[in-house]
A and B are shown apart, each in its own frame.
Chain A
Amino acid sequence: MKKRNLYVLELIIGIIIISIAGILINNLIINLIRTNMGLSYSWLMQPAGFAISEYLIPFKPSDNYSFALIVGWINSLRVIVFGLILSTFLGLFAGISMTSKNLILSNIAKLYIGLIRQVPLLIQLMFWYFVVFLGLSEKPHDFLWSLGNISNKGFQLLGIKLSVEYCALLIGLSVYSGASIAEVIRGGIKSVSQGQWEAFRSLGLTETIGLRRVIIPQALPAIVPGITSQYLNLAKNSTLAIAIGYADIYAISDTTITQTGRAIEGFSILLISFLLLNLVISKAMERVNTAVNHYKK
């Protein structure tokens, strides 16, 4: 095609996209006028009027909506950060176990992955919360020589208190993402040629050291991109907290939207915050990726 034709085509497509957007915005404005809503963000400064069950920074119902949303964000981040750590360990362990020569270990790992990945996360979360954690006894049960205790109210270790909602969400998410990460890690390990295994064995290194020093570093460039998308999934999946009563950003946005009736405004805040979160995780992982690839050279 000639260059001029290309420009014409491009212009046409541009106009189509613009007109679709225009029609949608047009409808939005009509509907907002019709229902006397308009767009406004002033409600962000009004008192929220609802309490939040857990928070890292003190929150009272008389604080405003924007503060409630921040509290929700911190709660989300708390789950996401620890979920990333826990699922990585779990995935690493299960992924390596799958490549292990120990038949029982590798089959258990396969069973874990086969089972977890074929059942929706929502059901798993409900299971962890309603069956496992709420099924614990009401009386605190001590462990580790009374350093901590666990009951169906929460988990406590050395003065750190975690609610059961948090525990269920954290464990549910980590177990679910762990299975996907394990698959990624197994794929990465498989991508390292068999010769490398034979090489370190012939050097007399043990399996553990060989894995850690020889195989994993070479598998990392293949693993990191896969893990990045699993991390992003974990962050996005944390919004399912709403189903088990954990006050994360989505749950608080939901309550806010119901109470204020400001669906578009509340939703837009949610969107922007997730775009930011996504950006942060992918940028961080990009750095890891360059570091890993640098190491390879």
Chain B
Amino acid sequence: MIKLYLTGLMSLTLMLSGCASLENDKRSRLDLIKTRDKLICGVSGKIPGFSFLKSDGSYQGIDIEICKALAAAFLGSPNKVQYRPLTAPERFTAIKTGEIDVLSRNTTFNLSRDSIGGNGLTFAPVVFYDGQGLMVKSNSKITRIEQLNDANICVGSGTTTEQNLNDAFEEKKINYKPIKYQDLNQVVAGYLQGRCKAMTSDRSQLAAARTGFKNPNRHIILNDVLSKEPLAPASIGGDQKLADAVRWVIYSLITAEELDINKANIDKKIKLATEDKSKTSLRRLLGIDPGLGQKIGLSDDFFVNIIKSTGNYGDIYNKHLGKDSNLPIPRGLNNLYSKDGLHIAPPMK
């Protein structure tokens, strides 16, 4: 009897699985977003400056602004976003299973994640150039990474941070003991309470975390940079329509800063371009002359919508990470190429 059942079960299961047909859904995710009239954006929700929960229940940070810019471009309003807080381990599965449309969760852009044989994502342009660093207490007199031999180091698990730490220390033949936590606030707690001599994370996050300390000046971030961490939003691989749209929304933010268009002067610029027919490229960019938006599956006024809701890249940076924020991180690499930084947008033509 048991055997009969088992064989029956096996054969039927096999038969049914044999019917596994591959109906390739050719519809782009972008159309789905538009029909749904909501963009689902995966964020962290726990990283000051990038995305964190405020007391009034809303999220704030540069990652959030990217979501808003995308929603403004896709749907015409920055408020048509649903934020989905994700832990580091679940973020890629969430995008693969279609639970979120776009991942904007300070994720490092690298080969394995961007490739079809790896995590199968498609990355948008980098929104923040970061590098992994180490923070120590200033009274420990540590200034170089070599002085951390045999030290405990607090690190978040399941991230590239953990691998970079290992690569960097292995290369320099320094022994260390990783104390791994699930999220950054636990890493901070472990470090502050003296479990570890140093904590490691992206330098922006270290700076952000430090502003919350009681005595920020008692902690220093070492000059050694363990790795380069270009942080970028990502969408599912193999969906060019969505990937194009996301890519050019990010470039729009940078282009706006290059052209010095911001929230305050956009209306003036529109008026100027409407009156002056000779400003063809500006007219096209602002959607007065049609064409650009349609090519990436968006409305022609997408650029205007973005700038009106979030401002340009520089504005976003200053508000959340730069001089107007409570964790002023110098722009450095994150400045425009014309100001010795790395941000450059290809021509929007």
Contact = CB atoms under 8 A, between A and B. Distances in A.
**Are A and B close enough to touch in the complex, i.e. CB under 8 Å?**
yes
A192 interface: no
A247 B158 contact: no
Contacts of B170: 61
A17 B1 CA distance: 16
A261 B92 contact: yes
Contacts of A243: 182
A242 B182 contact: yes
A53 interface: yes
Interface stretch (A31-39, A88-96, A212-220): A31-39
A53 B16 contact: no
Contacts of B22: 30, 33-34
Interface residues of A, number: 44
B190 interface: yes
Contact of B19 (A21, A26, A50, A251): A26
A53 B19 CA distance: 47
A243 to B, nearest CB: 6
A152 interface: yes
A290 B177 CA distance: 46
Interface string B176-197: 1111111000100110011100
Interface size class, chain B: 35 or more
B150 to A, nearest CB: 12
Contact of B166 (A14, A50, A135): A50
Given A135-B193, A255-B157, A261-B119, A22 B89 contact: no
A114 interface: no
Contact of A51 (B117, B166, B193): B166
Contact of A134 (B88, B93, B162, B195): B195
A165 B179 CA distance: 9
B157 A254 contact: yes
B179 A257 contact: no
A123 interface: no
A276 interface: no
Interface string A30-69: 1101111000000000000111110000000100000000
Nearest to B24: A34
A26 B16 contact: yes
A258 B16 contact: no
A258 B152 contact: no
B116 A251 contact: no
A255 B119 CA distance: 15
A23 B182 CA distance: 35
Count chain A CB atoms within 10 A of each CB in B21, B88, B92, B181 and give the residue with the most.
Answer: B181
Contacts of A142: none
A147 B299 CA distance: 75
A245 B92 contact: no
Interface in B201-222: none
Given A22-B15, A33-B20, A254-B158, 19 more contacts: A14-B5, A14-B9, A19-B12, A21-B9, A21-B13, A25-B13, A33-B22, A51-B166, A51-B177, A51-B178, A52-B178, A53-B178, A53-B180, A130-B186, A130-B189, A165-B179, A258-B92, A259-B158, A263-B93
- Give 10 nearest A-B pairs by CB, closest first: A22-B16, A134-B193, A258-B158, A138-B194, A258-B89, A18-B12, A29-B20, A245-B181, A22-B13, A51-B178
Interface of B: 5, 8-9, 12-13, 15-17, 19-22, 88-89, 92-93, 96-97, 116-120, 152, 157-159, 162-163, 166-167, 170, 176-182, 186, 189-190, 193-195
